[in-house]
Amino acid sequence: MTNYKTIVFVHGLHENAESWKSWKLFFEKTGYECHTPNYPFHDGIPDELRQNPNRELAKIRMNDVVNHYVKFIDSLGGVIPILIGHSMGGLIVQKLVHLEKGLLGVCITSASPKGVLSFKWSFIKSNWGAINPFKGNSLYCGTREWFHYAICNTLTRQESDEIYEKDVVPESRNIPRSSRFGDGMIDFNKPHKPLLFISAENDHIIPTSLNLKNIASYKDKHSIKDFKQFKGRSHSLCVQKGWEEVAQFIEYWLIKNTKI
């Protein structure tokens, strides 16, 4: 069942649905029914999760998260929703669109599928801590210093620390690791529903060049794939000052593409 007014938001790594609070309110005010489900073992207040994480989280791979969202979407009574994802959530949106579980897909500073790589130093430096193979199945929770460099590099350290306190949660290393292998595979030749890729000009952890490689990988000439870069922003553009501009652009794109 097609429903142009239902949105499922997909958060990224190192965060949970708390990060979508303002976006949920924004889109609800414009008439959308919004859902913000968490990844498995991500439910709770971020500060409390940092102090007492669920150790089962360490076992979770990317496909476990994808299947979790498939089950949630299937519980919506046949509704095929709009999908909006940030960071790893953007890659999960790509996977869900590939599985025909989304009406439209918005991928904000999206992690890339298998085989789509960046060799920029900022990308390697920002991601190494989480995927480090020498750390086994231990949970990862980056430091405030890492967070400022990788996620909030256009903000002051104080602004970055405030976002860290509010949003950051411990994470499974096996989600990003598995995304580099079979769990992150996309058939780029397959026709797909409209996709919008949004990048942040000064993003360290997901540089614009990686977003552009991701878009260029999709080969079907009849499928819509659009791109928008926001100047002067970092990876935290969904929560930093001016996030409303990003949300408004997405709203206009949704209106345009649900009329096709």
Classify residue 21 as left (phi > 0), alpha (psi -120 to 50) or beta.
alpha
The pLDDT of residue 196 is 98
Condensed to tens digits (0 to 9), the pLDDT of residues 56-110 reads: 999 999 999 999 999 999 999 999 999 999 999 999 999 999 999 999 999 999 9
How many Cβ atoms are within 10 Å of 215's Cβ, its own excluded? 18
Condensed to tens digits (0 to 9), the pLDDT of residues 179-232 reads: 999 999 999 999 999 999 999 999 999 999 999 999 999 999 999 999 999 999
The pLDDT of residue 3 is 62
Range of the domain at 159: 2-257
Mean pLDDT for the stretch of residues 100-128: 97
CA nearest neighbour of 19 among 253, 243, 252, 231: 243
Which residue pairs, CB below 8 angstroms and at least 24 apart, start in 127-132? 127/176, 127/205, 130/13, 130/14, 130/171, 130/173, 130/176, 131/173, 131/176, 131/177, 131/180, 132/173
Query: Are 228 and 139 contacting, i.e. CB atoms less than 8 angstroms apart?
Result: no
Condensed to tens digits (0 to 9), the pLDDT of residues 2-17 reads: 567 999 999 999 999 9
CATH number, domain with residue 223 = 3.40.50.1820
Rounded CA-CA distance 145/95 in Å is 31
Residue 260 has pLDDT above 60, yes or no: no
First to last CA, the chain: 16
Extended strands (E) in 18-98: 33-35, 80-86
User: How many structural domains compose the chain?
Assistant: 1
**Is 48 exposed, middle or buried (CB count within 10 Å of its CB: 0-12, 13-18, 19+)?**
exposed
Rounded CA-CA distance 248/251 in Å is 5
Residue holding tokens 């958060």? 11
The pLDDT of residue 79 is 94
The pLDDT of residue 258 is 87
**Single pTM value for the model:** 0.96
